[in-house]
Amino acid sequence: MLRDLPEFADKPSVADATIERLATLWDFADEYLHLDEMRVHKGINPARNIKKRKASDSESAPLWPLELCRKFEAYPHPELVTFYFLARYTGQRRSDLVNMKWTDIDNGRGEMFVAQAKTKAKIWVRMPQRLRDHLATLPRTSDYIVTSSKTGKPWRDTSLTNEFIKVTRDELGFSTTDSKGEPRFYSPHGLRHLCGVELAHAGASDRQIASVLGHATLKMVAVYVKHAEQRVLARDAQAKRDAMCASEVHEAAIDAATNVTKLRA
């Protein structure tokens, strides 16, 4: 099926939208063009009533591992690297990244103004030092922070996602799978999620995280907090295990387990 093509592997919503557009075109042709090729279908639109790939409980874009972050920062493509810094350290969506302008920055306060395209929210986001340091190295050749070297115009958000996936998957060799074993790839939205998780790790409150990312509710913020808490708990648990292994308690625990096994036998 069309939407099962590799190009749609990490874009279920785009795949669903494509099918919906084809269904609309079919309805138009059936009503106004009366094509002979369509009569065999007896008025049935084959693109209608197809189960959507994007379920309501679909998994979030995968978080970027730090090894990938380090390699991407060193990748020789200044435009993509700047988008990476903007995405990771402001936590904004791709539709907002491509429209960021130099005039949106308040250097005195170290903040950036964002008018979010999806939510219509207008927010100020403090820029972490790493982002400010990176932006300070860039020439200001356009009103926009990043423009395409090919066209001189702002990037399209879909082109940005496609380039990120191509570089991370094909050039840097990084990909992953979801809980069902389906392939997933690293996109700008995964950096938005990484921003949320890093804020949670740093101890930011739910409301503070929402204020940075521009979430209207705390539902998605809870995902970041849960991920951060799980990682910290697991890290602490293994740290306690390391401490045990470095002491005599480890030998005592192993001896106890061995004795229990012998008694059960």
pLDDT for 135-194, tens place per residue?
999 999 999 999 998 899 999 999 999 999 999 999 999 999 988 888 999 999 999 999
Question: pLDDT per residue over 15-32, tens digit each?
Answer: 777 777 777 776 767 666
| Exposure string over 163-193, b if 16+ CB within 10 A, otherwise e | bbbebbbeebebbeeeeeeeebbbbbbbbbb
Q: Looking at residues 100-125, what average pLDDT do you find? A: 92
Q: Which two tokens stand for residue 154?
A: 């702002």
Positions of CATH 1.10.443.10 in the chain? 66-223
Contact between 14 and 3 under an 8 Å Cβ cutoff? The reply is no
Query: Exposed e or buried b for every residue in 141-152, given b needs 16+ CB within 10 A?
Result: eeebbbbbeeee
φ/ψ of residue 163, rounded to 5? -70, -40
Mean pLDDT lowest among 20-24, 236-240, 246-250: 246-250
Residues 6+ apart with CB under 8 A from 190: 61, 62, 63, 64
Residue 2, pLDDT > 70, answer: no
Q: Which two tokens stand for residue 134?
A: 């990176």
**pTM to 2 decimal places:** 0.68
Tens-digit pLDDT profile for residues 63-97: 999 999 999 999 999 999 999 999 999 999 999 99
Beta carbons within 10 angstroms of residue 128's beta carbon: 16
* CATH architecture, range 66-223: Orthogonal Bundle (1.10)
C-beta of residue 147 within 8 angstroms of C-beta of residue 138: no
Q: How far apart are CA 164 and CA 160, in angstroms?
A: 6
From 97, 99, 86, select the one nearest 127 (Cα to Cα): 86
Please check whether residue 82 is in contact with residue 144, taking contact to mean a CB–CB distance below 8 angstroms: no
Long-range Cβ contacts of 69-73 (<8 Å, 24+ apart): 69/194, 71/172, 71/174, 72/167, 72/168, 72/172
